[in-house]
A and B are shown apart, each in its own frame.
Chain A
Amino acid sequence: DQQVKQNSPSLSVQEGRISILNCDYTNSMFDYFLWYKKYPAEGPTFLISISSIKDKNEDGRFTVFLNKSAKHLSLHIVPSQPGDSAVYFCAASAEGGGADGLTFGKGTHLIIQP
């Protein structure tokens, strides 16, 4: 049973436009969410996180939105740059009582086209 789902395996966006990556979760115990970026042959790199007490968190070109009622979060990248081409993982944790570490989605491969 996949508790964190990224339904788009890949996404192609033109340079300079907005990239929107989506993530859905099923476990209502999740209360902390993170996005990681991964290049080939490297480990995931932390991008941005959001606590369930917020609905938006911004860091430069990256903004994460959380809709708790829909159990949905999204990562917006504006403007998209060629270096953003990578696999993006959504992750969740249940800080209050979970003992399962981070639960990851299967990733979305973002391709930024010139």
Chain B
Amino acid sequence: KAGVTQTPRYLIKTRGQQVTLSCSPISGHRSVSWYQQTPGQGLQFLFEYFSETQRNKGNFPGRFSGRQFSNSRSEMNVSTLELGDSALYLCASSLGGRVADTQYFGPGTRLTVL
């Protein structure tokens, strides 16, 4: 089975711009979660989508949003980028029945905001 894929792998944007990141889960997985990893804060949960609905949300401002399509693929959008949004954005998929289902991570998208 193919693993979780994320595109693009690297991205450079400037302050004030917006960005869309994409995640394709493992086939058959219905849950997609997004995390932000920074050196200072570690891995922090952004949100989780299951069957096209946001099921859980972390403590991030409304500039961070996402959606999930009927094929379980997910996109994450960050509007009005700030320097502090520079981070590795990781997507993880799981079967989706429960929070404790094993999550499988993609390689991440490295976003740099200048």
Contacts and interface: CB of A to CB of B under 8 A. Distances in A.
Interface string B59-90: 00000000000000000000000000000001
A101 B33 contact: yes
Contact of B99 (A43, A45, A46, A98): A98
B103 interface: yes
Contacts, number: 62
Interface of A: 32, 34, 36, 41-46, 49, 51, 89, 91, 93-95, 98-107
Nearest to B102: A46
A101 B45 contact: yes
Q: Chain B, interface size: which category?
A: 20 to 34
Contacts of A32: 99-100
Interface of B: 4, 33, 35, 42-45, 47-48, 55-58, 90, 92, 98-100, 102-108
Nearest to A42: B107
A104 B42 contact: yes
Contacts of B92: 43
Nearest to A106: B42
Contact of B58 (A34, A41, A93, A101): A101
A95 B43 contact: no
Given A100-B45, A100-B56, A103-B45, A43 B102 contact: no
